[in-house]
């Protein structure tokens, strides 16, 4: 793990970030809904109001993985937390400690910022990831169901009468 460097992403890293997102979409069999572009990533990650932060795993001069995260909030704890939106390690870099290095950096950031929790979602068929997360001490939140409104549903709800 000594040759893995975890760095905060900067605007010039946008091509690597997009490559990681596209790799993740392919792995999750969701490439057909991945429409992110470099211009959109530049605007939303490095514009005047960044929506999220990214750390990159560099190994041998190459980008081997990434993690994209943003703050959330726990009303019960009355403290902010961190939501890990995406974690991805290139197939050829898996099993070399890249994912662990990324998660260790996120845990350090969470501790430095006084966050009360670090949470994320994982697809139920992704057994390798689930096993990895459990080994780290993460607990599945099986009693919770995630709901989502997409762009069209957000518009319909916002415009709803009554």
Report strand pairing: 79-89 vs 62-74: antiparallel
Q: What is the pLDDT along the chain (162 residues), one digit of tens a residue?
A: 459 999 999 999 999 999 999 999 999 999 999 999 999 999 999 999 999 999 999 998 899 999 999 999 999 999 999 999 999 999 999 999 999 999 999 999 999 999 999 999 999 999 999 999 999 999 999 999 899 899 999 999 999 987
- pTM equals 0.92
CA distance 35 to 22: 9
Domain ranges within the chain, ordered by starting residue: 4-158
83 given a catalytic annotation:
no
CA distance 159 to 162: 10
The class that CATH gives domain 4-158 is alpha beta
- Nearest CA to 66 out of 32, 115, 29, 22 is that of 22
**Catalytic pick among 73, 83, 88, 133:** 133
CA distance 7 to 88: 15
């Amino acid at each position: 793990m000594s040759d893995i460097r975890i760095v905060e992403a900067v605007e010039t890293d946008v091509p690597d970030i997009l490559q990681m997102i596209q790799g993740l979409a392919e792995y999750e069999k969701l490439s057909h809904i991945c429409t992110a572009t470099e211009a959109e990533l530049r605007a939303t990650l490095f514009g005047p109001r960044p929506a999220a932060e990214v750390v990159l795993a560099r190994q041998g001069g190459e980008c081997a993985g990434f993690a994209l995260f943003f703050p959330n909030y726990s009303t019960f704890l009355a403290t902010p937390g961190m939501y890990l939106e995406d974690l991805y390690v290139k197939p050829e870099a898996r099993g070399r400690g890249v994912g662990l290095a990324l998660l260790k950096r996120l845990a350090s950031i969470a501790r430095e910022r006084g966050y009360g929790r670090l949470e994320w979602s994982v697809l139920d068929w992704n057994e390798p990831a689930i096993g990895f997360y459990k080994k780290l001490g993460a607990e599945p939140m099986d009693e919770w169901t995630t709901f989502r409104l997409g762009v069209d549903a957000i518009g319909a709800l916002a415009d709803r009468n009554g």
